Structure 1
Amino acid sequence: MEARPYQQEAHAAIVSQWDEYQRLLLVMATGTGKTIVFCQLAEHLVREGGRVLILAHRDELIRQAADKLEAATSLKAAIEKANEYAVDTWYPITVGSVQTMTRDKRLFPYETDAFTHIIIDEAHRTLAKTYQKILEYFDGAKVLGVTATPDRGDQKNLGRFYDSIAYEYGISKAVKEGFLCPIVNRTIPLTLDMGTVKQSGGDLAAGDVAAKLEPYLEEIADAIATIDRKRIVVFLPLIAISEQLCALLEERGMKAAEVNGMSKDRNQKLKDFNRGRYQVLCNAMLLTEGWDEPAVDCIVVLRPTRVRALYCQMVGRGTRLHPGKENLLLLDFIWNIDRHELIRPAYLIAEDEDVAREATRMAEELAKQGMPADIQELVAGAENQVLDQRKEALAEEIKKQRRKKSRLVDPLLLGAAFGESRIIEPRTRAEAATESQQMALEHEGVNPEGIGH
């Protein structure tokens, strides 16, 4: 299997940076082939005499990794999970279940140098105690964490473990280069009043969200029933409310199915959805990982979240390319919620929070006119709006300074006005500017006192 250009770049960057760092992170948008990259990397390592452990936390991800490894490289892997044992096999690659390998009786039979490299799928989970126990046991191995987004719901920084991001390929670039489909945002002019919702584990409590959502299910079902799409996936907070919405959609003549972790016929329903026997698939966060269905052309997020990683996982179920699929329709609603700021469609593309907020406001204005919007175009328009606002603020600041008979401008405002919003988020703590440096800044009209150090 021939790798795409960006996959080749990712491979080269990882191999190169392992000369300098032990623990690397690979960030690639859902649907861009993360699994292919690490499978081909594993093949490379084995040919160099390495022994590789691929860690995953769900059965679907474990099987997917093993299957894609064989499909992409013709190499078979041993499985360490439940009743399957890999410790005494001769395979140079092992795909292991985190839940299994964290148990002493499954971990300790391995020598501590059994693996030269460890690859972690869904690496935003790396800081969990289960992962850390395994990584500390094989502490001499080089590590690659692979994820669609390095954000964590509990706000713990992955930089506590990983030394460097080896390569990053985001959703915006993938869409522009034609490797993911364009995303069209349609905001339904229906305000869902969430009121005051409690937090749990760094995100909105699912039970509270479900209780607030339930009174709107009839109107939500009416809105979904108007969508002319072939494969619609709806994400909801709890199984009970997922089942309720599924029943309401069926009442409106839609072919709908509901799947959850307890469904005995889950695999059959997923196959039927793939074959087009169902138009809508409702789930309570079951399908965020380890499920690929490129034909999905509409995503409905009814599980509001403050966590960008989770939002990207949900939307990522529909961004893959598929014959006859022109774009992904992302159905959004107007969320009214106290205290918390939610991740909305614009946050998928926008790197600046002010831009994301402005794009969200613009989408809601378009919703009143019944108009959808291409997210790339929406964010581009919002960037221009925010840039204009910042330039106006800079002009006003200059006027104030002139009235004070000062020629010096706030450097943070200056940076923001020219689109360099990242200047207001210093990454490192630097030494104070020298006297000559301060004089140089003043000569250029920048106030050195406004620069943090």
Structure 2
Amino acid sequence: MSRLVPWKHQLEAEKAVTDAYRRGLLAALMVMATGLGKNLTSALAYRRFRRSMQHMHGRSRILFLAHQSDLLDQAQETFKEMFKTTMTYGSFNGVAKEPRETAVFATFQSMDHALFGRQRGKRRTFSRRSFDYIVVDESHHSHAHTYRRVIRYFKPQFMLGMTATPDRTDLLDIREIYGEEVYSLPLEEGLAKGLLTPVDYRLVTDGLHDLSILNTPIGKLSVKRLNKTLFIPRRDKEIARIITRHIQRVSNPRTMVFCPSIRYCDRLVGKLPNAVAIHSQLPDREQTERLKEFRAGDYDTVLTVDKFNEGIDIPDANIIVFLRSTAARIIFLQQLGRGLRKIRGKKRVLVLDFAGNCQRLQMINKLWTDVGNIKRPGSGRTKDPAVSVDIGTVMFSQTAQKILRVLDQIKIGYTKELLIAQLRRLKRQLGRIPMQADINEASKRGECGSTSALNRVFGSLAEAQRAAGMKPFYADTTPEALLDQLKQLQHTLGRVPKKEDIEAASARGECASATSFTKPFGSLALALQAAGMTPTRRSQSFGGKPKKADLVAQLQRLREKVGRVPTGRDINAASKRGEIVNSDWIRKAFGSVMGAHRAAGMTPYITRNISPALMVGQLRSLKRRLGRVPTVDDINEASKRRECVSYSSLIKKFESFSGALRAAGLKPYLLPTTRKALLEQLRQLQQKLGRIPTSDDVRAASKRRECASPTPFLAEFGSLTEAKRAAGMKLFFADTSPDAILVQLKRLRRKLGHVPITKELRDACKRGECAHPSTIVKIFGTLKAACRKAGMEIQGRPDRSPQALIAQFKRLGRKLGRVPTFDDVNDASKRNETASTSVFRKNFGSMHDLQHAAGMTPIRRKPSLKGSIKLKRRKKN
């Protein structure tokens, strides 16, 4: 049928897929690196399947699924060249709908909408058995919700999943869908076997800074610190100069540049010769046109972010530039594979990698090592690996090797000699053998490796102590010795020890571990009982139901310890330490914590109806204690300690925090509000945050006294936006042209998974991802009209009759598999699946009555202890 001549590896892959079908498998997974011809292999496999179907049943149909129209166009070209006019070909995407052809090439998004987004009563375009054979390209996306339900819907005779990178970054396994690989040829093997274009990999890291850090002792060095010190971002002009210099050395250069962000992409494109940018913020039509122009040779260089990660084929690309140092190996291999397809006349691919971190160096080193270790068929180790890392100068070669050695040492961690020296030094400081708690504290100070490091290197802490010439502590674990240890610990603590106390004592070498008590006694509680103690468990902590006299005594002891009237928080903290019962028991005995305070002869701290004079006294007292004028944060902290009223109470009494300070005779700390001072405050805040500050950032900084509040900015500049512009900050505003707004809406819908509502549009506008809702209304009339123009289906307002509301509630219950709660209805209302909770309450009175009306058993929440007490009092009255 076709003059296409397959490679040997494609015939091997086609045979493996065909054998899987013949063995009765319903699906198979084929892993093949980018540039090795997955589309042609799938066409070969389908040709074999089609012949068997024609022999048995007659005509067969195939569905080719992918998440981008560009991938489908390439696949359709391959199938047309293979099968010519023996098949009919149709596209099913956002532009064309041709569902009746023999071969249908569909995007997941359009197929999902056709199958699950249809109106009620309307027949589905495709039945479950519309296709005999389905190919899923870039199948590592199959775990996405919309993709997986499309795959589960169809029941073909065979399904083939194709991908270059089967292992996902989120650890979900696509082998659960397609089974294990029937054929695998990864990029490393393709390079080693000469199936891909050889790579000349150049690491552009001649701008490394402060190499002296490599001499830092390993115990005090981390990868994060290395990245921060060594790799300083370059300026755009310098990057453009280096790229241009290499381009000029290549005859007929065809360059792909991967940028870290869309903003960076747009900024750099003007600094490179004959370059064009392609990214997701451009309209789909514009992206397609620019890609065609690049392929046609109108441009020599294309800049992108992640547009070319998957499937887009640029066979004649001979220069790849990495400006983003992604830590994800999957994305790195996808981007590298873009230019590795073999074509006539292309001898080598030049890769310029502006390595931005240590992880990138390790990633490239591993790739080079893996390719070198792969054996050619019928020979030994590869003598001339297809990857040659050309680092340019001898200085960089030595530096790169030293960085990699340091990274290996950091990965391994501490050596035995270093850990032994640290343990001995710690022993001299303490005057005794260091225990687990000592080592962990020293580790936090950077003086010693952690216990986990000791366990990893020596196997256990005891072995580490023995290696350092120390005699490890071994507690006697006979039942009699364990009981003696418990009694000794009780005497030391002055109370019944808990599990935390035993573990802490064990770490100090004073007692066996908590698990040691479980073996002879069955549990720690039984061990405590055997030692004549009552386990410290809430009601059991103090011998069953506590008496009021005991509670009063406990409260008085707690007051002496904390130095003030104990709050509910103090009581609960003491309860966890086994010093007092929980505050719930106190409320049960006295009605409230305040009632317990009065019974214990204490004056409860009441924040209600406090006079302004007392508030002023508290502020002055706080100022004397701090030695300065208190801030808002000081007030909030003091309020938690019951030393002062809350910030909100001060505002209610004095109208402002400054007014409260003036009433107390204190001078409020006021930042200068001149134009120059305000601009300087904004710049300092931007430098601290590392981004342009928002109005919320300014308010938060104002409370910390780092910046004036938004009000002075409004008075001086008219708006905070104008103030930012005057401070020299480059503000990002979404494009407000009609086409750009439609693109923004589509992108936001993909991100959210549903049609965006007004609040979500406002939030996206603040992030610079979308125009403001009011702008959209001005252009399109209404938000609904804009959404419809963007191809989104807007459901009408749900029916609000009682019968319809009950039907909606039941439908939601079936979907959830349980009785819906208030929050469930609220969430469903946002998705436009039900009416709002207020509508339900208006018709039925309460959620409880609604659940009754729908024939469901109402959910009864178990009342809290406080609620139970109130309920009992109500019954008594």
CA shift for structure 1 position 349: 5.3
Alignment correspondent of 1:235: 258
Alignment correspondent of 2:190: 174
Alignment correspondent of 1:205: none
Aligned CA distance change for structure 1 residues 20 and 367 (closer, same or farther; 3 Å) = farther
Does 2:164 match 1:160? no
Structure with greater contact order relative to length (CA < 8 Å, sep ≥ 6): 1
Aligned CA distance change for structure 1 residues 129 and 27 (closer, same or farther; 3 Å) = same
> Conserved in 1, the CA contact under 8 Å of 2:196 and 2:342?
yes
Does 2:388 match 1:369? no
Does 2:268 match 1:258? no
Count of residues paired in the alignment:
344
Alignment correspondent of 1:39: 43
SS of equivalent to 1:286: coil
Alignment correspondent of 1:244: 267
Alignment correspondent of 1:220: 239
> Conserved in 2, the CA contact under 8 Å of 1:182 and 1:328?
yes
Q: Which amino acid aligns with 2:203?
A: T
> Conserved in 2, the CA contact under 8 Å of 1:101 and 1:134?
yes
Query: What is the RMSD of the two structures over their aligned residues, measured on CA atoms?
Result: 3.4
CA distance in 2, matches of 1:175, 1:183: 8
Q: Which amino acid aligns with 1:4?
A: W
CA distance in 2, matches of 1:36, 1:303: 31
CA distance in 2, matches of 1:10, 1:62: 21
CA shift for structure 1 position 141: 4.2
> Conserved in 2, the CA contact under 8 Å of 1:192 and 1:334?
no
> Conserved in 2, the CA contact under 8 Å of 1:306 and 1:343?
no
CA distance in 2, matches of 1:163, 1:318: 30
CA shift for structure 1 position 188: 0.9
Q: Which amino acid aligns with 2:41?
A: V
List aligned pairs for 1:109-120, cutoff 5 A.
Answer: 109-120=125-136
Of 72, 75, 79, 2:82 maps to 72
Aligned CA distance change for structure 1 residues 322 and 83 (closer, same or farther; 3 Å) = closer
CA shift for structure 1 position 343: 7.1
CA shift for structure 1 position 234: 0.4
Alignment correspondent of 1:135: 151
Does 2:345 match 1:324? yes
Alignment correspondent of 1:447: none
CA distance in 1, matches of 2:133, 2:293: 39
Aligned CA distance change for structure 1 residues 239 and 72 (closer, same or farther; 3 Å) = same
Q: Which amino acid aligns with 2:330?
A: A
Does 2:109 match 1:99? yes
SS of equivalent to 1:10: helix
> Conserved in 2, the CA contact under 8 Å of 1:192 and 1:336?
no
Q: Which amino acid aligns with 2:240?
A: A
CA shift for structure 1 position 280: 2.1
Deviations 1:113-168 (A, max 9, x none): 22232210011111111121012111454321101121212222222222120111
Aligned CA distance change for structure 1 residues 278 and 115 (closer, same or farther; 3 Å) = closer
Structure 2 residues not aligned, in runs of 5+: 54-59, 210-230, 375-384, 409-877
Of 185, 198, 213, 2:201 maps to 185
List aligned pairs for 1:421-436, cutoff 5 A.
Answer: none
Alignment correspondent of 1:123: 139
Aligned CA distance change for structure 1 residues 281 and 82 (closer, same or farther; 3 Å) = closer
Structure 1 residues not aligned, in runs of 5+: 194-211, 373-377, 387-453
> Conserved in 1, the CA contact under 8 Å of 2:134 and 2:160?
yes
> Conserved in 1, the CA contact under 8 Å of 2:29 and 2:175?
no
Of 81, 92, 104, 2:93 maps to 81
> Conserved in 1, the CA contact under 8 Å of 2:188 and 2:370?
no
Of 286, 290, 295, 2:316 maps to 295
> Conserved in 2, the CA contact under 8 Å of 1:28 and 1:148?
yes
Alignment correspondent of 1:7: 10
Alignment correspondent of 1:274: 295
Of 307, 317, 322, 1:286 maps to 307
Deviations 1:315-353 (A, max 9, x none): 11110223332211111133236xx67773344454499
Does 2:69 match 1:63? no
CA shift for structure 1 position 182: 0.4
Which structure's CA Rg is the greater one? 2
CA shift for structure 1 position 20: 4.5
> Conserved in 2, the CA contact under 8 Å of 1:152 and 1:307?
no
SS of equivalent to 1:144: strand
Q: Which amino acid aligns with 2:291?
A: L
SS of equivalent to 2:356: strand
> Conserved in 2, the CA contact under 8 Å of 1:26 and 1:146?
yes
CA distance in 1, matches of 2:368, 2:146: 32
If each structure's helix is expressed as a fraction of its own residues, which one has the higher value? 2
Q: Which amino acid aligns with 1:76?
A: T
SS of equivalent to 2:355: strand
CA shift for structure 1 position 262: 4.1
Alignment correspondent of 1:437: none
Of 27, 41, 45, 1:23 maps to 27
Alignment correspondent of 1:310: 331
Aligned CA distance change for structure 1 residues 309 and 343 (closer, same or farther; 3 Å) = farther
SS of equivalent to 1:184: strand
CA distance in 2, matches of 1:159, 1:342: 30
CA shift for structure 1 position 219: 2.6
Aligned CA distance change for structure 1 residues 341 and 158 (closer, same or farther; 3 Å) = farther
Alignment correspondent of 2:818: none
> Conserved in 2, the CA contact under 8 Å of 1:40 and 1:73?
no
Aligned CA distance change for structure 1 residues 77 and 298 (closer, same or farther; 3 Å) = same
> Conserved in 2, the CA contact under 8 Å of 1:27 and 1:148?
yes
Q: Which amino acid aligns with 1:163?
A: G
CA distance in 1, matches of 2:172, 2:41: 26
Aligned CA distance change for structure 1 residues 260 and 214 (closer, same or farther; 3 Å) = farther
CA distance in 2, matches of 1:78, 1:43: 18
Alignment correspondent of 2:814: none
CA distance in 2, matches of 1:281, 1:122: 23
Deviations 1:182-218 (A, max 9, x none): 011111124589xxxxxxxxxxxxxxxxxx9975323
> Conserved in 1, the CA contact under 8 Å of 2:295 and 2:314?
yes
CA distance in 1, matches of 2:275, 2:371: 37
SS of equivalent to 1:73: helix
TM-score by length of 1: 0.67
CA distance in 2, matches of 1:157, 1:173: 22
Deviations 1:11-64 (A, max 9, x none): 110111222432211111111110111122223323332432211111111222
Q: Which amino acid aligns with 1:119?
A: V
CA shift for structure 1 position 177: 4.0
> Conserved in 1, the CA contact under 8 Å of 2:258 and 2:305?
yes
> Conserved in 2, the CA contact under 8 Å of 1:182 and 1:327?
yes
If each structure's strand is expressed as a fraction of its own residues, which one has the higher value? 1
CA distance in 1, matches of 2:138, 2:293: 27
> Conserved in 2, the CA contact under 8 Å of 1:305 and 1:343?
no
CA distance in 1, matches of 2:14, 2:303: 36
Q: Which amino acid aligns with 1:33?
A: G
Deviations 1:71-119 (A, max 9, x none): 12213322222353344x2x33221110011122569332212223221
Higher mean alpha-carbon deviation, 284-293 vs 53-62, is at 284-293
CA distance in 2, matches of 1:97, 1:241: 30
> Conserved in 1, the CA contact under 8 Å of 2:233 and 2:356?
no
SS of equivalent to 1:290: coil
